[in-house]
Amino acid sequence: MIATVTSQGKTRWMIIDEAFNTEKLIEFLQALIKDADKKIFLILDNLRVHHSKLVKAWVAERRAQIELFYLPSYSPELNPEERLNADLKQEMGKRVPLRTKARLRDAASNHMKMLEQNPERVIGYFQDRRVRYAA
Residues 6+ apart with CB under 8 A from 25: 2, 49, 50, 52, 55
Each residue's pLDDT tens digit, 34-58 = 989 999 999 999 999 999 999 999 9
The C-alpha atoms of residue 22 and residue 54 are separated, in whole angstroms, by: 7
All domains of the chain in start order, with CATH: 2-134 (3.30.420.10)
The stretch 1-11 carries a mean pLDDT of 96
- The rounded percent of the chain whose pLDDT value lies above 70 is 99
**What is the model's pLDDT at position 96?**
67
Whole-angstrom distance, CA of residue 129 vs CA of residue 135: 10
Q: pLDDT digit string (tens) for 75-113? A: 999 999 999 999 999 988 887 677 888 988 999 999 999
Per-residue confidence (pLDDT) for residue 65, from 0 to 100: 98
